[in-house]
Amino acid sequence: MPSDNFVYDTNLFIYYLNGNQHVEKFFTSEFLSSNNVYYSIITEIELLSFPKLTDNEIYSIKSFLNGFIKINLNEDIKDKTIAIRKKHKAGLGDSIIAASSIIYQARLVTRNIDDFLKISDLVISNPFE
């Protein structure tokens, strides 16, 4: 039975794929099997948008993401994103990721704490602390 919900920000995946040990605990089999771990479709877009990715790297990233639960855009996330952008003047990508976390009642795991601190409904964890 899952014990908690998490949304991983794009930077968490980048750190992990680059071998950063600070984030490894969020990718262990034990952690992943005992929690619901989500990512926003925005994260998928950001990860696959690096211009120098090879076809093999794209395939590897897509395969890796299959191990997590993708959050697609829906009306609730759209409405929450609009509210966040109006209130906090946050960027579109960060607003969608924050809205996804709030709607799914999930803790956002990110190193970009400053990007999200002003959003009061959001629960944030910094993997480097």
Q: What is the pLDDT of residues 14-52, one digit of tens each?
A: 999 999 999 999 999 999 999 999 999 999 999 999 999
User: Which residue range(s) make up the domain with 90?
Assistant: 5-125
Q: How far is CA 81 from CA 46, 97, 127, in A?
A: 18, 8, 24
Tell me the pLDDT tens digit for each residue of 102-117. Answer: 999 999 999 999 889 8
Report which of 69, 60, 58 is spatially closest to residue 8, judged by C-alpha positions: 69
pTM of the model: 0.93
The tally of domains found in the chain comes to: 1
d(CA 83, CA 36) in angstroms, rounded, equals: 25
96: three-class secondary structure by DSSP? helix
DSSP states of 23-63 as a string? Answer: GGGGGSHHHHHTSEEEEEHHHHHHHHT-TT--HHHHHHHHH
Output the domain CATH number for residue 118.
Answer: 3.40.50.1010
Q: Could you report the per-residue pLDDT of 55-93, keeping only the tens digit for each? A: 999 999 999 999 999 999 999 999 999 999 999 988 999
> Would you say 36 and 6 are in contact if contact means Cβ atoms under 8 Å apart?
yes
